[in-house]
Structures are given as C-alpha cells and as structure tokens.
Amino acid sequence: MTVAGKINTLHFGILLFLLACFFILPAYHVGALSRIMVLAIYAIGLNILFGYTGLLSLGHAMFFAAGMYGLGLSIKFLGVSVIPAFGIGILSAAVLSVLVGLLALRTVGVSFMIVTLMFAQTIYLVVLYFGEYTRGDEGFVLQQAERMLLNFDVTTEAGRYFVAFGAFSICLISFAALVQSSFGKRLVAIRENEERARMLGYDVWRYKLLAVIISGTVSGVAGALYALLFGYVGATFASVQYSILPLLWVLLGGAGKTIGPLIGVAFMFYLIDASSAYTSAYMLIAGLALVILTMFAPRGIAGILQAKVWPWLP
C-alpha cells in the first residue's frame, strides 16, 4: 500500500472505530466520547499552530471562548436559532484570531507565548467584567428548546454523539488534507527553519497569519459545539487552565501528528476520570503527566508509535 493509502486507511479506520463505539459501548462512555471528540477538535486547532507551524500559543482559550460565547450570547439575547448562532460563534473566533494574529505575530518566541497569554487574560477579564450578561464564573445554561438543530434534538445521547462525530470527522479529514497539502508543508518548513523558508522566497508572515486564523477558527468551532452540545457557557472555559489543557493534550498525543489530538484528549480524559475517584486535586495528574512527558517522551504517544510501529505516520 502507498503511504497516502496507509494514512487514509488509518484515518477512516479511526472514524469507523468511533462510529462503532456508539453501538458497542455503554451510555457513560458514549457520553464521554462525545465530549472527547469536541475537545479533540479544540486540540486539532492548537496542533495546527503549535505542532505544525511551531508557534506556541498559551492563550487559545480566548478562541474557544469566542466561539462559545458567540453562540451562547446570540441564542440567549438575540433569540436566533442554532445555525445562525453557530455562524456567529465561528465568525467571532475568526475575527478575534485575525486581530490577535496581526498583533501577536509581531513578536517571536517567548514574547509570542506571553502576548497570547495576556490577550487571553484580557478576554477572560472582559467576560468577568460583563458579568451582568455572561454570568461570570457561574455561567449560564442553554435550554433544550433553544438547542434544536432544525428539527434534530442535540440534547439526546444519540443526537449529541452524532453531531460531535460528524464535526470531528470533517475536522480530522480536512486537517489531514491540510497537513498533506503544499500549504501544510510550508507551515512545517517555517517550523523547522523560519530563516530558510524566508530565504526560499516564502512570505513567512502571511503563512503564520493564516495558521493563526485557521487554528483560532477551528478552536472557535470547538467552543461553539461545546456550548451547543452540553448546553453550558461559563467563564472557566476562557481561563488560563483551558489554554494549558489543549497544549497538554497535543503534547501527550503527539505534537505535529494528525492523530495526536484525539489520542491526547482521550488518554487525559480517562486518566483524570480514573484519578478523580481518589482525589479532588486531579490536576496533579496533569502536572505529573506534563513533567514526565517533556522529560521522557517529548514527541508524545503518536511520536512513540511513529518511532516503533508506523514510520509513515503523518
């Protein structure tokens, strides 16, 4: 089989497996998996920027929150139906990522991380400041009646699973296509050696900006989906913790690998799920995982798979 054939087989195999899970697994895990798939879209968003372009953003929660509040607030206050609200959510994230990209890309390295962190902090504080509308940390709930996708009820277990599955499939397949395209290869070239990419005549700044916009918008899609499927919008999702978590997922699964985000989210979800039975300080597990990963497996689970089993892993 050609390499491209193997890659396609792997991706479709994963999607088939996820589809089968709905019929095999008990209800609890089906619910968990729909959450995992939505969060994996978020991780895919960060992976485009961090894993493929080599830009480490510590503020991706602002894009997730833009999508989430774009959808949530427009449903709550404008009374629009789900599809236009979803469009507003994505548009908010896209506009925010253009602005952040234009400003933050003037900096490099450590400064870029801190600028994104501070922009995200600003957004988080803005959400708290307008607590009258956003209900701050407490958040607000979207009612079942407000969450009808045309005539399709997304609040049932099956509805939620299939919407999450559909969105995740689209994201994974287009993400894989993006990575294989010449555009994706140029991003990797920038990650590997920015100077050389520039010397070869590529407009590095433009590609980085596009990477920020795509990455931020995909994260916004995840935020809007999360609000739609789980019916809750809260400031926690804009906090620093939700900027760190996708980084953890991507690193754990494998930065710069198409299947990394899903593996990372699933692994971390079940790790925390298992440990929260014993302690309320479950973020301790996240901390230990980060330290151990960065020390012993900086390329994540997919990186290990690539080294040991599938050298062609994209």
**Contact residues for another protein, defined by CB under 8 A:** 56, 103-104, 106-111, 113-115, 117-119, 121-122, 125-126, 128-129, 240, 244, 247, 251, 279-284, 286-295, 298
Q: Closest approach of Cβ 54 to another protein, in Å?
A: 9
> Hey, what's the torsion of the CAs at 239, 211, 186, 311, to 10 degrees?
40
Taking the least distance from each CB to another protein, the nearer of 30 and 272 is 272
Give the CA distances from residue 286 to residues 46, 51, 253, 282, 307, in Å, rounded to whole numbers and listed in that order: 18, 20, 13, 7, 24
Residue 248 Cβ vs another protein, minimum distance, rounded to whole Å: 8
Nearer to another protein, 15 or 290 (CB): 290
Give the shortest CB-246-to-another protein separation in angstroms. Answer: 12
Task: State how far the Cα of 199 lies from the Cα of 20, in Å rounded to an integer.
Answer: 48
Shorter beta-carbon distance to another protein: residue 26 or 109: 109
- d(CA 237, CA 77) in angstroms, rounded, equals 20
- Smallest gap from residue 259 Cβ to another protein (A): 20
Q: Which two tokens stand for residue 251?
A: 């690193």
Q: Report the nearest approach of another protein to the CB of residue 199 (Å).
A: 17
d(CA 24, CA 122) in angstroms, rounded, equals 44
Nearer to another protein, 56 or 148 (CB): 56
Angle at 92 between CA 86 and CA 95, to 5 degrees: 140
Closer Cβ to another protein, 30 or 290, answer by number? 290
State the nearest-atom distance from the C-beta of 283 to another protein, in Å: 5
Distances (CA, A) of 97 to 66, 141, 149, 217, 261: 10, 26, 26, 7, 20
Q: Which is nearer to another protein, 91 or 283 (CB)?
A: 283
